[in-house]
Copies of this chain bind each other. A is one copy, B any other.
Amino acid sequence: MRIGELAKRAKVSRDTIRFYERHGLIRSGVDPEAGNSYRIYPEDAVLTLDVIRDAQAAGLSIADISMFLAQFMAQSPEAEAGQGFLEAKIVEVRARQEAGARFLQMLEQTKAALDRAPQDGLDEVTRRGEA
């Protein structure tokens, strides 16, 4: 498919796709039949873009995601080097998820306290936090 359709299906801008492609997260080719310079993206590029979104939510940088996708796609037996990378990212992401979960609880407790007593402070949460 061409960039416009991919953009629409994956809900990202064309420019973002080009940005990712420049950074090696997405690959494309050209149709040799057609005499134009239009890039053709494989169907699974949509899925790749979904993965990129999730990876970003997990806190990975573009460079990280590029590494990950290389490992993930790895048809070639060039693994080994990236073993440590995956392990490191797992540790990192787990920590970030835990921190995020902690903060989510604070958000929820804060809202709950404010719902309960919209006109005064929220000592409850603060006291609970001190436990």
* Residues of A near any B CB (own CB < 8 A): 51, 53-55, 57-60, 68, 71-72, 74-75, 77, 79-80, 82-83, 86-87, 89-90, 93-97, 99-104, 106-108, 110-111, 114-115, 118-122, 125
Copies of this chain present: 2
Contact A119 B83 (CB under 8 A): no
Closest to A126 in B: B72
* Residues of A contacting B: mostly: helix
B residues less than 8 Å from A96 (CB atoms):
57, 100
Task: Report if A104-B110 is in contact (Cβ < 8 Å); known contacts: A72-B122, A118-B77.
Answer: no
Partner of A58, one of B71, B87, B104: B104
In the assembled complex, the Cα of A104 lies from the Cα of B80 at a distance in Å of: 20
Contact A79 B111 (CB under 8 A): no
Q: In the complex, are the beta carbons of B100 and A104 less than 8 A apart?
A: no
Q: When A and B form their complex, which 4 residue pairs have the shortest distance between CB atoms, in order from nearest?
A: A57-B99, A54-B103, A58-B100, A58-B103
